[in-house]
Amino acid sequence: MEIKGFLIAVMLLFVSAASVWAYKKAPFAKSLRKLAGQGDAESQSRLGYMYYQGQGVPQDSAAALKWYRLAAAQGEAKAQFNVGLMYYEGLGVPQDYAEALKWYRLAAAQGYARAQYSLGYMYANGEGVPQDHVQAHKWLTLATITFTDKPERDEAIKARNSVAAQMTPAQIAEAQKLAREWKKQ
């Protein structure tokens, strides 16, 4: 699975085209920094993205992580996912799969599809956790249900099917049961 590149691409998609255009403007960054400094979680998350991309501000992974963490601490799912991604990739921090899992789980618990997909990938490959195809299939199934964009959903289905090819029918049934139970929560 070429997931690492996909994860980064997915992170970049969360901002609308109009917002990306606006991010390139330094005055926008100044206004956003003011709102972020006042504790607005969405502004903190967007400012983190701007630092991650170097849009309207110098590219700075450490600053991106700082703003993502502030938004994540307020329960902002995208920011929680992005903190996890930064730990997963080792951007602005040493690579730490256990820390990535922690943040992905927080975002996944809110139904954030990209985090669910990432958890599935990590379980499928034994990154930060023992390899567990049942858990991988569960998280990838949840991602297929949660993704609203067809390309992302199709990628999740492909990944889930790849995992399923390595499972017994009993394991698949267990994974489906766990996904149904998780959805009820």
Residue pLDDT tens, the chain, 185 long: 465 554 444 444 444 444 444 445 567 777 778 888 888 899 999 999 999 999 888 999 999 999 999 999 999 999 999 999 999 999 989 999 999 999 999 999 999 999 999 999 999 999 999 999 999 999 999 999 999 999 999 999 999 999 999 999 999 999 999 999 997 66
The token pair that represents 183 in the structure block: 């959805």
pTM score above 0.85: no
Q: How far apart are CA 160 and CA 117, in angstroms?
A: 9
How many residues does the structure list for the chain? Answer: 185
Quote the DSSP letter at residue 141.
H
- Hey, what domains does the chain have and what are their CATH numbers? 1-105 (1.25.40.10), 111-185 (no CATH)
